A and B are shown apart, each in its own frame.
Chain A
Amino acid sequence: MKKMLKNKKLYITIIIICILILVGWIIGIVMNQGKETSGKNDSEQDVIVHETDENTVEEKAEEGLKESDSEDGPVLNEDNMIDFNGSDAKSDNNESEGNDVDDSKTDDKQGNDSEDNEDTNVTEPSDDEQKEDDENSDDTGSWGIFY
């Protein structure tokens, strides 16, 4: 009799534990649903996000950007350089076209004749600079610290 009572108590305890876990589970599901719904508009509910391994993305090598053989950027020459002094410049407020910087001051330290250059806005390099340019003409350059 005593044993039966003990078993009965055990069964009731197990059932109560199961009911409590079930209640918790239901509360959890309701909380999750509330979380998913809040802060989302209609368009977001259709959204599925993937984070892919890059191998699953087809690269269109023939149409897209081309990986260069150069180890350190393009060969440095005037053709692929943007002129700070703006031989091709445009002012965003349309007040003036072209150079806004007083170039006549810029070459004094190098001893160049700045007045000769006023019309073209092109600065002739000094002999030393020309030598340096020549030395680097087949190179991609020695670039300093990143900033």
Chain B
Amino acid sequence: MKNKVLKNVRVIALSVAAVAMVVAGILGTGVGANAAKTTEQTDVVKYVEFTEDITSYLNDNTAPEYPTSEPIGYGYLFGGWYDKNGDVYTEIKDTTDLANKTGTVVAKFVPAQTLSVKCQNWAGTKEGDSDVIVRVISATDSTNYSNFGFIVSRIDEAGKETVLTQEPFTTTDVYSKFNYYKDAEATEPTATFEPDDLFGKAAKHFTTCTVGKIPATAHGTIICIKPFWVTLDGTTVYGLSKFAHVEDGYLGYVNVPVNLNILSADNASSAGILSVKSDDGLTFVGTDEIECGKVFDEMEFNVLSDGTIKCAGNTSDISEKSEMDIYINLKFLRKDIDTDAPIANEFYTFTVTGEDFCNEKEVFLEEMDVWNVIY
């Protein structure tokens, strides 16, 4: 009896050992080793080698287009073509060079958060003030761009959009530090910020423009800002648009623009749903404060008990809906509005889940890039 039990124990022990050895062998090949890689790398600039012919992106050298970041996952924006000489990357500065290039060409991709927008009012701006000035800020990862710009428009209550300048505002000036003053009378800044404090690790330089003479009656009017950079070879790349309002500055609102990147003209969407979940630290203001974006004509939403905001939109005309733009703007209240603390060195992340978009034939669209919003 004792021997039989011992024999059974031995068989079980040997079987377990055999399985363990097979598993050890599998693990030795590295299966499962890279599962947790993605999150940490989303704020890093990446260079992707293209060994195939890239002249298809040049569009006859008149209006260069650019590749999507599909090979490395969406959520990145094109930042220019580079030559790789050993370990040194040199930007290719014009399309002729690019068209004549043989061999490997490297495309730079920058985290989309870099090319997003934040705003500041003149310190001390309050309700009822007229001729208010707003500073619009974005960032770049390097000075290797021919210029940087903003398309600024206002959207009235009826949804009519008016672009404020005939030509987009452009600049070649970048800055390394921006200040925050709690009071207009203060002689020293309350805090000083560097680009990566506000726009993620990849951001190295600020860019800016100002919008002025905003009347007291327009503090709640949507100011729509679309940032862009132009690479040295002349490619214009649009970033994450933002809806801003003067009152956001003194009421403590955080606007969360959910941007859609419809990656192909053939993929113009006619309807789509998604859900947005906020980090702790922000309070959803309410359904009256949700603003329909610029992709769909109609939006509906539902706030679930766990705070998730479920959004659905549709549009009748999809003819011009083939580029990146705001799907919906959600408004939250910042909890630290009465404290001395500005938004410093911390980001609120709004996680987008359950994206499901279809075209007019109700065909599911796979090539849709919806970014989590990092505020």
Which A residues are within 8 Å of any B CB, using their own CB?
Answer: 16-17, 20-29, 31-32, 35, 43-44, 46-52, 54, 56-61, 63-68, 70-74, 76, 78, 80-86, 88-93, 95, 100-103, 105-107, 109-110, 123, 125, 129, 141-147
Residues of A close to B21: CB separation below 8 A: 17, 20-21, 24
A59 & B135 in contact (Cβ 8 Å cutoff): no
Can you name the residue of chain A whose Cβ is closest to the Cβ of B82?
A57
Contact A31 B254 (CB under 8 A): no
B26 CB–A CB distance under 8 Å: yes
Q: Does B289 contact A (CB under 8 A)?
A: no
CB within 8 A of B174: which of A46, A67, A86? A67
B233-249 at interface with A (beta carbon < 8 Å):
244, 248-249
Q: A25-B25, A88-B166, A146-B343 are in contact. Are A64 and B131 (CB under 8 A)?
A: no
Residues of B within 8 A of A83 (CB): 164, 211-213
CA distance A29 to B89 in the complex (A): 34
Taking A46-B49, A86-B162 as known contacts, 14 extra A-B pairs with beta carbons closer than 8 A to each other, sorted by chain A number, are A28-B28, A43-B71, A47-B72, A48-B48, A64-B232, A66-B143, A72-B178, A83-B211, A84-B223, A88-B164, A93-B160, A103-B215, A107-B130, A109-B216
The answer to whether A60 and B232 have CB atoms under 8 Å apart is yes
Q: Which 7 A-B pairs have the closest CB atoms?
A: A24-B25, A106-B215, A28-B29, A24-B22, A28-B26, A20-B21, A143-B120
Contact with A along B161-173 (1 / 0, CB 8 A): 1111110010011
**Once bound together, how far apart are the Cα atoms of A22 and B18, in whole Å?**
12
Contact A100 B178 (CB under 8 A): no
Sampled A-B contacts (12; CB under 8 Å): A25-B29, A47-B50, A52-B47, A63-B146, A66-B143, A72-B179, A81-B209, A84-B223, A90-B162, A101-B218, A105-B216, A147-B252
CB of B274 closer than 8 Å to a CB of A: no
A17 CA to B89 CA, complexed, in Å:
49
Nearest to B144 among chain A residues (CB) is A64
B139 to chain A, nearest CB (A): 11
User: B213 to A85, Cβ gap below 8 A?
Assistant: yes
Q: Does A67 contact B143, Cβ atoms closer than 8 Å?
A: yes
With both chains docked as a complex, state the minimum distance between the C-beta of B72 and any C-beta of chain A, in angstroms. 5
Q: Give every chain B residue within 8 A of A49 (Cβ-Cβ).
A: 46-49, 71-72
Question: Which residues of B lie under 8 Å from residue A17 when comparing CB positions?
Answer: 21
- B 329-351 contacts with A by CB, 8 A: 342-343
Option from B146, B176, B193, B244 in Cβ contact (under 8 Å) with A67: B176
Q: Do A31 and B26 contact each other (CB < 8 Å), given the known contacts A65-B143, A67-B143, A147-B254?
A: yes
**A20 CB to nearest B CB, Å:** 4
Find the A residue at minimum CB distance from B120.
Answer: A143
- CB-nearest residue of chain B to A102: B217
Determine the chain B residues whose CB is within 8 A of the CB of A31 once the complex forms.
26, 29, 31
- Chain B residues within 8 Å of chain A by Cβ, number: 110
Docked-complex contact B143 and A56, CB < 8 angstroms: no
Contacts of A82 in B (CB 8 A): 152, 164-165, 169, 209-212
Let me know if A66 and B163 touch, CB within 8 A. Answer: no
Contacting residues, chain B, for A142 (C-beta < 8 A): 122-124, 179, 181, 184, 186
- A60–B30 CB distance below 8 A: no
Mark B133-152 against chain A: 1 for CB-CB distance below 8 A, else 0.
10101001011111110001
Encode contact with A along B69-91: 1 for CB under 8 Å, 0 otherwise.
01110000000001000011111
Chain B's closest residue to A105 (CB) is: B217
Q: Which residues of A contact B130 (CB under 8 A)?
A: 106-107, 109-110, 123
Interface contact B46-A50, CB-CB below 8 Å: yes
- List residues of chain A with CB within 8 A of the CB of B181: 142-144
With A74-B208, A84-B212, A105-B217 as known contacts, state yes or no: A145 contacts B71, CB within 8 Å: no
Known: A123-B131, A129-B131. A101 touches B217 (CB 8 A): yes
Which residues of the partner chain A approach B182 to less than 8 Å between Cβ atoms?
144-145
Q: Is the CB of B49 within 8 A of A90?
A: no
Q: In the complex, A24→B209 CA distance in Å?
A: 61
Question: In the complex, what residues of A have CB within 8 A of residue B29's CB?
Answer: 25, 28-29, 31-32
- Any A CB within 8 A of the CB of B125: yes
Decide: B143 and A76 in contact? CB cutoff 8 A.
no
Residues of chain B lying within 8 A (CB to CB) of residue A73: 135, 175, 178, 206, 208
CB A138 to nearest CB in B, in angstroms, measures 15
Q: How far is the CA of A106 from the CA of B78 in the complex (A)?
A: 42
Whole-angstrom CA separation of A25 from B217 in the bound complex: 71
